[in-house]
């Protein structure tokens, strides 16, 4: 039995353009949906403002200035031995408003430079086409993904970058955590996934399914087109994968947990199998929902199945049928109760390494296609000691426990896993709270929520630890 990770396993790190780049209006970049999101905190929601306001602080505008500093940052990734680096292309650097015909050459050149720098060190770029970065103009003019027209704008954008970088990028993903918007009662998710703000005439859940349909069709078109542009492309979907456990062995809890998992599987089922599952058609019929579809959509979905499942994994949740109800806030899932068997981070994310092995097995058994863990990590407050060191043993502990379970999935369970890119390999702006203080990185960035800090970079203890993991192909734990 092979008892190690495959030799070509893609160890690396992950970020998203909007959480690191900064330069939000540099070189012709247009405002995206995150450029109108204020900062927040664990107990304070981020506010969506109507355009950019002079009296609001927008953390993503400056982020960690990866746009101006990528060469130095990539040198550090190379020092850790990264085999790959996941980031996204900021759609609004290429098409500032989203509905233009001609792309912005400055934006295209930036990603040429970025990819060349990665390739110089033998680091494979892994690229998300849309990581919560749709042009805000498309929200204002077209209502975001409510409009079918956005399918064409997205396909045009994807075609432009896939043609431009066809010799530099092999691994792509279409929509980051497309399933977040299933939590339609928390405004951040609909806005960042699809540019949707619900109005009084909406049935929010039905509207959510409609915009998701447009995205699934767009994704399928892009997968087909990408394979025509370069048959060697590997194009994945990306699911925010939070396994939902039954709180008890009561049959009602088991069934409810199983039904709740459809909040994840609906998305990956369509991406991977090219058709809507019967459970969603039954749900739409029972609720009287009508989702507008073009007669050609069925065929489009069939022809655009993804090559692999990209997933993020941070936590698990447990649900009880006796606690059913609406989603509550950011980490509230319908029916969820704190799981007494696991601990949680300061942000309430339940820490469950075994849940990662469980998730990998579920996805492997369901699709029989390669899996790629494109996010996993521990958001925590770091302390800089008097000598400048940062002893983030809690992060090492979290990651090591997850890597152990990931290895069991590969070695003992035979899961086809192609890579692992821990989230926020360099500190960046938190997505859900907009904070700097929720840090994930192996590299510390001296920047704080009060605006202070000189953006200097320094290595945390986890930097050398992760370097050792990569060097030994996961054997140094
Ligand atoms: C995922 C997103 O939801 O989780 C990332 O794809 C995000 O963009 C990450 O940053 C961690 O979330 P947060 O809120 O801790 O930054």
User: Nearest C-alpha to atom 2 of ligand 1 is from which residue?
Assistant: 431
372/415 Cα distance (integer angstroms): 11
Q: Which residue's structure tokens are 């940052």? A: 73
The domain that contains 391 carries what CATH number? 3.20.20.80
Q: Is residue 4 part of a domain?
A: no
Q: Domain total for the chain?
A: 1
How close is the Cα of 83 to the center of ligand 1, in Å? 22
449/352 Cα distance (integer angstroms): 29
Q: Ligand 1 pocket, 128 CB below 6 A? A: no
| Catalytic residue positions, numbered | 375
Task: Provide the pairing of β-strand 317-319 with 336-337.
Answer: antiparallel
This prediction's pTM: 0.97
Q: Ligand 1 pocket, 375 CB below 6 A? A: yes
Domain of 59 in residue numbering reads as 10-471
172/281 Cα distance (integer angstroms): 29
How close is the Cα of 410 to the center of ligand 1, in Å? 25
With the most atoms of ligand 1 within 8 angstroms of its CB, the residue from 240, 312, 376, 378 to mutate is 312
How close is the Cα of 240 to the center of ligand 1, in Å? 9
Q: Is residue 476 part of a domain?
A: no
Q: Ligand 1 pocket, 432 CB below 6 A? A: yes
Bridge partner residues of 317 (DSSP): 244
Q: Ligand 1 pocket, 171 CB below 6 A? A: no
Longest Cα–Cα distance of the chain, Å, equals: 65
Q: Ligand 1 pocket, 176 CB below 6 A? A: yes
pLDDT per residue rounded down to tens, the chain (477 residues): 578 999 999 999 999 999 999 999 999 999 999 999 999 998 999 999 999 999 999 999 999 999 999 999 999 999 999 999 999 999 999 999 999 999 999 999 999 999 999 999 999 999 999 999 999 999 999 999 999 999 999 999 999 999 999 999 999 999 999 999 999 989 999 999 999 999 999 999 999 999 999 999 999 999 999 999 999 999 999 999 999 999 999 999 999 999 999 989 999 999 999 999 999 999 999 999 999 999 999 999 999 999 999 999 999 999 999 987 765 666 668 888 889 999 999 898 999 999 999 999 999 999 999 999 999 999 999 999 999 999 999 999 999 999 999 999 999 999 999 999 999 999 999 999 999 999 999 999 999 999 999 999 999 999 999 999 999 999 988
Minimal CA–CA distance to 239: which of 359, 91, 151?
Answer: 359
User: Nearest C-alpha to atom 9 of ligand 1 is from which residue?
Assistant: 431
Q: Is residue 464 part of a domain?
A: yes
433 and 416 in contact (C-beta within 8 Å)?
no
Structural element, H or E, at residue 125: strand 124-130
Minimal CA–CA distance to 358: which of 319, 412, 310, 422?
Answer: 412
Length of the chain in terms of residues written: 477
User: Residues of 358-371 as b/e, b for ≥16 C-beta within 10 angstroms?
Assistant: bbbbbbbeebebbb
423/421 Cα distance (integer angstroms): 6
Residue 61 carries which DSSP code? G
User: Residues of 158-183 as b/e, b for ≥16 C-beta within 10 angstroms?
Assistant: bbbbbebbeebbbbbbbbbbbbbbbb
237 and 177 in contact (C-beta within 8 Å)?
no
Structural element, H or E, at residue 67: helix 66-80
How close is the Cα of 287 to the center of ligand 1, in Å? 32
68/19 Cα distance (integer angstroms): 14
Q: Which residue's structure tokens are 């009880």? A: 320
User: Nearest C-alpha to atom 4 of ligand 1 is from which residue?
Assistant: 431
Q: Is residue 121 part of a domain?
A: yes
Q: Ligand 1 pocket, 315 CB below 6 A? A: no
How close is the Cα of 32 to the center of ligand 1, in Å? 17
Which atom of ligand 1 is found nearest the CA of 433?
14
Q: Is residue 5 part of a domain?
A: no
Provide φ and ψ at 173, rounded to 5°: -135, 150
CA atoms within 13 A on the CB side of 454: 3
223/57 Cα distance (integer angstroms): 37
Which atom of ligand 1 is found nearest the CA of 430?
16
Q: Is residue 199 part of a domain?
A: yes
Enter the tokens of residue 195: 């540019």
Burial class (CB in 10 A: 0-12, 13-18, 19+), 398: buried
Q: Is residue 3 part of a domain?
A: no
474/400 Cα distance (integer angstroms): 9
Q: Is residue 369 part of a domain?
A: yes
Which atom of ligand 1 is found nearest the CA of 349?
15
477/470 Cα distance (integer angstroms): 11
Complex ipTM value: 0.99
- Region of 81 (left: φ > 0; alpha: ψ -120 to 50; beta: rest) is left
Bridge partner residues of 234 (DSSP): 171
């Amino acid at each position: 039995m092979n008892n190690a990770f495959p030799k070509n396993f893609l160890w690396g790190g992950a970020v998203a353009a909007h959480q690191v780049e900064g330069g939000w209006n540099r070189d012709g970049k247009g405002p995206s949906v995150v450029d109108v999101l204020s900062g927040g905190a664990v107990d304070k929601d981020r506010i969506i403002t109507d355009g950019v306001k002079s009296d609001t602080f927008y953390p993503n505008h400056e982020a960690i200035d990866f746009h101006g500093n990528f060469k130095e940052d990539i040198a550090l990734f190379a020092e850790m031995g990264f085999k790959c680096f996941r980031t996204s292309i900021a759609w609004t650097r290429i098409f500032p408003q989203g509905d233009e015909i001609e792309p912005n050459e400055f934006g295209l050149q930036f990603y040429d430079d970025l990819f060349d720098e990665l390739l110089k060190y033998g680091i494979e770029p892994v690229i998300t086409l849309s990581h919560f970065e749709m042009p805000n103009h498309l929200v204002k003019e077209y209502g975001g993904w409510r409009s079918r027209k956005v399918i064409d704008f997205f396909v045009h954008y994807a075609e432009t970058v896939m043609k431009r970088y066809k010799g530099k990028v092999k691994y792509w993903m279409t929509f980051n955590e497309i399933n977040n918007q299933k939590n339609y009662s928390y405004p951040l998710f609909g806005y960042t996934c699809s540019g949707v703000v619900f109005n009084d005439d909406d049935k929010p859940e039905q509207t959510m399914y409609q915009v998701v349909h447009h995205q699934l069709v767009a994704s399928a078109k892009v997968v087909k087109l990408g394979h025509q542009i370069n048959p060697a492309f590997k194009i994945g979907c990306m699911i925010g994968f939070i396994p939902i456990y039954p709180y008890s062995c009561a049959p009602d809890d088991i069934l409810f947990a199983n039904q709740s998992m459809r909040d994840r599987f609906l998305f990956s089922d369509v991406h991977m199998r090219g058709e809507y599952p019967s459970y969603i058609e039954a749900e739409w019929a029972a609720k009287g929902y009508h989702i507008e579809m073009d007669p050609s959509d069925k065929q489009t979905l069939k022809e655009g199945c993804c090559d692999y499942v990209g997933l993020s994994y941070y936590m698990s949740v447990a649900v009880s049928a006796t606690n059913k109800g609406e989603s509550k806030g950011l980490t509230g899932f319908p029916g969820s109760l704190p799981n007494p068997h696991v601990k949680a981070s300061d942000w309430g994310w339940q820490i469950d390494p075994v849940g990662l092995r469980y998730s990998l097995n579920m996805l492997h058994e369901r699709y029989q296609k390669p899996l790629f863990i494109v996010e996993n990590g521990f958001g925590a407050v770091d302390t800089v000691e008097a000598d400048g060191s940062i002893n983030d043993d809690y992060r090492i502990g979290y990651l090591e426990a997850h890597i152990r379970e990931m290895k069991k999935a590969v070695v003992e369970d035979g899961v086809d896993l192609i890579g692992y890119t821990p989230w926020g390999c360099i500190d960046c702006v938190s997505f859900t709270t907009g904070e700097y203080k929720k840090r994930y990185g192996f590299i510390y960035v001296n920047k704080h929520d009060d605006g202070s800090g000189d953006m200097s970079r320094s290595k945390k203890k986890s930097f050398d630890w992760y370097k050792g993991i990569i060097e030994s192909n996961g054997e140094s734990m």
